[in-house]
Amino acid sequence: MVTVTILVTGGAGFIGSNFIFYWMENHADDRVVCLDKLTYAGNLSTLEPVMDKPNFRFVKGDICDKNLVLDLFRTERPEYVVNFAAESHVDRSIDGPEVFLRTNILGTAALLDACREFGVGRYHQVSTDEVYGDLPLDRPDLFFTEDTPLHTSSPYSASKAGSDLLVLSYVRTYGLPATISRCSNNYGPYQFPEKFIPLMVINALNNKPLPVYGDGLNVRDWLHVKDHCRAIELILRNGRAGEIYNIGGHNEKRNIDVVKLILQELNKPESLIQYVADRKGHDRRYAIDPQKIHRELGWTPQTEFDDGIRRTVRWYVSSSDWWREIVSGEYQEYYRKTYGGI
């Protein structure tokens, strides 16, 4: 018997698809509706395992398309809405901010208005720790809490901060039962190859140079995507409306160390590492304080990085059919533009 309908936007992307798999595995009776525009980052082939299931529906569409969104709410009446749909890559936002403002802010507004019109049990905004800006490398005692002021560095993070503020305004003004999570960097299967970990794995497999920005000492706080999905589930079920929850597992790694681990795992030489010009405005260190979600919802990450990264590398090795399709066409053009001659 169908219990609830959950609308997942951006479900053909990295985290959204992992969330759909997670939800359907753990809530077999629920109806899952995925709304995705299928931009360069969305891949229908990722959703193949669930496409034919009777309790799954895929809708190709733009979250900024107000009429389409309202029609979808009218027919599906979702109890939960989880918004993963976004332009998500910092480097692309530096190159062209406009689409980030459109999708991340105006798209969020269209979803919030539909929630207001039809009523929902919960709207959840999937946000990022990047809204807090960065921390210095020489202060390992500092972490982002939910009260850390917003201090964005890139058009991407500014657009995410903008959408977070919009969500909070709908909570306050209209009493919308919404929550926000701000997660650290995710890794795992089905991540688009422009992002750091899959890019390094795929380049190493192809014996191509691994482009490390700047001095390679920037620190990211890595979390396995499945732990992120479990955290969102807990927030949807038990989180308090109007609240922000930081998600992270105290798993800080320097970029260069992650690259070396990947090379080691693939038995490839470190001579493939190539230091390239730094990203403009490159955030130095991200580090989440996850005490609130641990204390209130009992969440702790279950995947150890050493194990998770090995499994992830092996997944990319054995899933070349998935990424080969993606690294052709538009991506080649993007790669040439971003990485020049290497």
Torsion of CA 32, 157, 256, 300, to 10 degrees: -50
Of the pair 199, 297, the CB lying nearest ligand TYD is at 199
Total residues contacting ligand NAD by CB under 6 A comes to 30
C-alpha 131/C-alpha 182 separation (Å) is 8
Q: What is the CA radius of gyration of the chain?
A: 19
In whole angstroms, how close is the CB of 212 to ligand TYD at the nearest point?
Answer: 5
Answer yes or no whether residue 303 interacts with ligand NAD by CB under 6 A.
Answer: no
Of the pair 213, 315, the CB lying nearest ligand TYD is at 213
C-alpha 106/C-alpha 160 separation (Å) is 11
Q: What angle in degrees, to the nearest 10, is found between the helix axes of 196-205 and 305-318?
A: 50
In whole angstroms, how close is the CB of 327 to ligand TYD at the nearest point?
Answer: 14
In whole angstroms, how close is the CB of 74 to ligand NAD at the nearest point?
Answer: 18
Residue 156 annotated among the catalytic residues of the structure: yes
Residue 130 annotated among the catalytic residues of the structure: yes
């620190």: which residue's tokens?
Answer: 219
C-alpha 38/C-alpha 252 separation (Å) is 32
Angle of CA points 123, 126, 127, to nearest 5°: 130
* Catalytic hit among 22, 123, 132, 156: 156
Of the pair 170, 192, the CB lying nearest ligand NAD is at 192
Interacting residue ranges for ligand TYD, rule: CB under 6 A: 90, 185, 195-196, 199, 211-213, 218, 220, 255, 279
**According to CB under 6 A, which residues from 103 to 162 bind ligand NAD?**
103, 107, 126, 128, 160
C-alpha 162/C-alpha 106 separation (Å) is 10
Tell me how far apart the terminal alpha carbons of the chain are, to the nearest angstrom.
Answer: 55
218 binds, among ligand TYD, ligand NAD, none (CB under 5 to 8 A by kind): ligand TYD
Q: Which of 5, 8, 16, 109 binds ligand NAD (CB under 6 A)?
A: 16
125 binds, among ligand NAD, ligand TYD, none (CB under 5 to 8 A by kind): none
In whole angstroms, how close is the CB of 220 to ligand TYD at the nearest point?
Answer: 5
Residue 129 annotated among the catalytic residues of the structure: yes
> Using CA of residue 210, residue 211, residue 214, residue 219, what is the dihedral sign?
negative
* Catalytic hit among 62, 130, 221, 252: 130
Answer yes or no whether residue 15 interacts with ligand NAD by CB under 6 A.
Answer: yes
Q: What share of the chain is helix, strand, coil (3-state, %, to 5)?
A: 45, 15, 35
3-state secondary structure of 161: helix
Report phi then psi at 43, rounded to 5: -130, 115
What does the binding site for ligand NAD look like in residue numbers (CB under 6 A)? Answer: 9-10, 12-16, 36-39, 41-42, 62-64, 84-88, 103, 107, 126, 128, 160, 183, 185-186, 192
Residues with active-site annotation = 129-130, 156
